Amino acid sequence: MELLRQIHGYQFGSSLALLFPTPFALATLVLFVWSLGPALKGTVGFSFLVWLRITWALTLIPGVTGVILALGGAKVPSATDVGGGLTKYGLPYDPSRDPEHWMYAAFSLLTLYIIEVLVKGHMVDHRRGLKFLPLATLFLYGCAYMVGRVAVLPGSTPGS
């Protein structure tokens, strides 16, 4: 179980962690920057699709380990009281953060699917769909960032 916790909870420890706290958030930030090209050119290159697949992998690895941990009864650190009403990070625990973590993870998966639809041209004209690609990838980055943030920091209702 400890290996699953380490895989699922991996975070960058540098000052850049403010922009991208996890590998998933970094991958989505790169995807956002990269999406500007296809939106302007109207075509998607092979390298963008490869990075999109890498982003899927960096989404599913913590996602699958998170489901396994949740089935074992684990909750995000910000929602876990380790004693004295504090989390392992020394902040007030907030039980409402666990459902938020799941919500942002679900939004991330849904947004990745929408990006696939836009890139492949299903249900939407291909060139028109690519114009929405930066918006979708920016939303994905926001969700990925919040997945990491709500796991660590308390919300507006700590200790309730």
Q: Between these two residues, 41 and 126, which has the higher pLDDT value? A: 41
Beta bridge partners of 86: 83, 92
Confidence bin at 21 (pLDDT 50/70/90): confident
pLDDT at 160: 53
Task: Please give the single-letter amino acid code of residue 138.
Answer: L
Q: What pTM value is reported for the model?
A: 0.90
Average pLDDT score over residue span 1-7: 86
Instruction: Please report, for the chain, the start and end positions of each structural domain, with discontinuous segments joined by +.
Output: 1-11+35-151
